[in-house]
Amino acid sequence: MSEIITSETSEPEVLPIEEKQPNYKNAMEEILALIRGRAPIIWVLTHEENRFINDFMEAIATPCKRDVWLWSAYQGLIRQDQQLSTERASGEDDGTWNPQKALKRICEMHRTSDSKGTCFIMRDFHTVLGEPIPRQIRDMYEHLIGTGKTLIILSPLLAHGAGGNRAGIPPTLEKQTSVVRYELPTKNVIEEHITEVVSHMNTSTRGKKKYTKLDYDINDIQGFVKALQGLTLIEIDNAISTSITHMNKLDADKLLMDKKQLLRKSEILEFIHAPVAMDDVGGLDMIKDYLGKYSRAYTPEAKAFGVEPLKGVLLTGVPGTGKSLLAKAIGRLWQVPLLRLDVGKVMTGLVGGSESKMRDVIKQAEAMSPCVLWIDEVEKSLSGTKSSNFSDGGTLARVFGTLLTAMQDGMEGVTIIATANDITMLPPEFIRRFNEVFFVDLPGPDERWDIFGIHLSKRGRDISKFEQHKKVLVSVTDGFTGAEIEKAIKDGIAASFYQDKKDLTIKNLLGAITDTKPISRVMAEKVKKLRDKARGSFRFASSYAMQEAKQNKKKAVKTASGKKLNIDDAIDDVGVFKQTKKEESKSTKDAVDSRFSDL
């Protein structure tokens, strides 16, 4: 046995010797270590006051014999067992809704005889942390340590002042405060909660059981858990209640729909419920095969075998070639949630607020794992990191650094799928974090025909009716992207309708194709530069693009200087290359003589 020696006013706390890992298992273990180490001020970031208080009582206060008091700006100081009361503090604690009086009262309090310390959970105390409150707390610092008292500030964000209008901890308390992030409910917590809710409803609504389905097996429960990951317990209860009242049962699809609605509040993470399958993406056979191999990476069998899920895949290439469509299809292929991150909405005017938002996004994505985090056109968001110190005081660079750190350490159960039209705008340290970078090139002939089939079928047309025109359609769309082929089909159908045709005609389809100006011709120089840069640098998304690049490489013979050699000119000059030294010397002498003879 070992002892932690405290001040004279406090008895030694006897703790068993237990071998611990450097990292904490969860927030409660970290808070327990801080309390035992006499850290007087702990700032806990959470939206879930009640769940935190209940967990704290069960994991720390009861087993470690701590008295617990609660504070709010309305009630003042009340005992934890009065948590459900709405009455304001009275007696000796009257007026403690005033933060200065509350802190004065905390200094006057004595713990009970069988207690080893007192914890004061200060709910939303960050909103009153304006001077002189931080100075008062700092003056109490030694007293809190000596008497075994701990201030636990509960706040949804790391900010202070009225309405949390100033980011971060008050400078007066910055070095005295420990910050802990209270995690969202884990899978086990959600499963236990759902089981408890269903059990409670079974016992309390026996007369209504014939109207409401309340019998679920373990597979059903696990499906509900998967649908509700990433939400707070309050949001989970709201989703369950909505599903029961609307459908008279718990339904995984309805829970997912409710989660999508709840995520809209953040405006940063969007839950994408797009019914896009890999068969809806034309061509790109090589990347489809690559992603298909990892479709079972999150299974227990893969984990036992030592297979590590992908950290990230970066898709780059010509705009309109299906990068975003492919990203949407990955979620369905792997049967995991797909979240879209809007990096622009992470940025906020508060100093330190943007970095905090990015950390919250990462934690929420991890809580919903396994999942896919999709960042579309990422170069538009991160291209300004080099000039960030001059343009926005370094905010973008710090947000970018937070994301890089998370990717490097590995966001548990989260695969990042990023798309970029111009990869040259991305910092190299960001590209390095991805498992693979795929180049999505313009579709080849067979791929273009697949795209015709996909979009014609989607609009109720039979591709076989256009089979006789395949050669023409494939030829006239050379250099088209998938998006441009889709646009031509839409325009052709509209033209046929307005001409009162019975169906889409080949004439109208070809007319729409002729009117479409592909980006490969409109911006030929830029697209050529983009393709030349990517070829040979990244993996090809399709076998056609790889074969085409190999053929072009054979044709593009280079000189020692690195410049492309014109084969025709080389053949014309082959006689010069075959001259002997004697002939070369003679021709040089003749040229010199000719020069001077013309003077």
* pLDDT confidence of residue 598: 43
Q: What distance in Å separates the CA atoms of residue 343 and residue 269, rounded to the nearest whole number?
A: 9
Q: What is the mean pLDDT of residues 117-144?
A: 93
Q: Which helix (H) or strand (E) holds 502?
A: none
* pLDDT confidence of residue 298: 81
* Residue 570: pLDDT over 70: no
pLDDT-derived band at 103 (thresholds 50, 70, 90) equals very high
**pLDDT tens column, 317-333:** 888 998 989 988 998 88
**pLDDT tens column, 245-272:** 888 888 888 888 887 777 776 667 888 8
Beta bridge partners of 42: 152, 178
pLDDT-derived band at 140 (thresholds 50, 70, 90) equals very high
* Residue 335: pLDDT over 90: no
Backbone angles phi, psi at 263, to 5 degrees: -70, -20
Which amino acid belongs to residue 201?
Answer: M
pLDDT-derived band at 534 (thresholds 50, 70, 90) equals confident
CB 68 within 8 A of CB 121: yes
Gyration radius of the chain over CA positions:
33
pLDDT-derived band at 8 (thresholds 50, 70, 90) equals very low
**pLDDT tens column, 285-327:** 999 999 999 988 888 788 889 888 888 999 998 889 989 899 8
CB 67 within 8 A of CB 118: yes
* pLDDT confidence of residue 594: 46
CATH T-level fold of 278-440:
Rossmann fold (3.40.50)
> Who's near 89: CB < 8 A, 6+ residues apart?
75, 76, 77, 78, 95, 96, 97
* pLDDT confidence of residue 6: 40
Q: What is the mean pLDDT of residues 208-224?
A: 77
CB 220 within 8 A of CB 231: no
* Residue 568: pLDDT over 70: no
* pLDDT confidence of residue 425: 84
* Residue 7: pLDDT over 80: no
* Residue 91: pLDDT over 50: yes
| Least confidently predicted of 96-105, 147-156, 222-231, 590-599 | 590-599
Greater pLDDT, 275 or 544: 544
Q: What is the mean pLDDT of residues 148-153?
A: 95
Measured in whole angstroms, the distance separating CA 451 from the mean position of its chain's CA atoms is: 30
pLDDT-derived band at 198 (thresholds 50, 70, 90) equals confident
* pLDDT confidence of residue 383: 63
* pLDDT confidence of residue 266: 65
**Torsion angle (degrees, nearest 10) of CA 278, 283, 285, 290:** -50
Percent of the chain with pLDDT over 70: 83
* Residue 199: pLDDT over 70: yes
Nearest C-alpha neighbor of 177 from the set 125, 118, 116, 117: 125
**pLDDT tens column, 173-193:** 999 999 999 988 988 899 999
CATH 1.10.3470 for domain 445-478+482-517 = no
**pLDDT tens column, 543-567:** 888 888 777 766 555 555 555 544 4
* pLDDT confidence of residue 206: 53
Nearest 5°: CA angle at 487, between 485 and 491? Answer: 120
pLDDT-derived band at 595 (thresholds 50, 70, 90) equals very low
* pLDDT confidence of residue 389: 47
pLDDT-derived band at 582 (thresholds 50, 70, 90) equals very low
Runs of H (alpha helix) within 205-251: 218-228, 233-247
Q: How far is CA 148 from CA 14, 105, 112, in A?
A: 14, 15, 12
CB 522 within 8 A of CB 485: no
* pLDDT confidence of residue 401: 80
CB 87 within 8 A of CB 72: no
**pLDDT tens column, 36-63:** 999 999 999 998 999 999 999 999 999 9
Output the CATH code of domain 2-181: 3.40.50
**pLDDT tens column, 399-442:** 788 888 888 876 788 899 999 888 888 888 888 889 999 999 99
* pLDDT confidence of residue 571: 39
Q: What is the mean pLDDT of residues 90-104?
A: 93
Q: What distance in Å separates the CA atoms of residue 342 and residue 375, rounded to the nearest whole number?
A: 7
Task: Write down the mean pLDDT value for the chain.
Answer: 82
Return the beta strands (E) in 168-276 as ranges: 177-181, 269-272
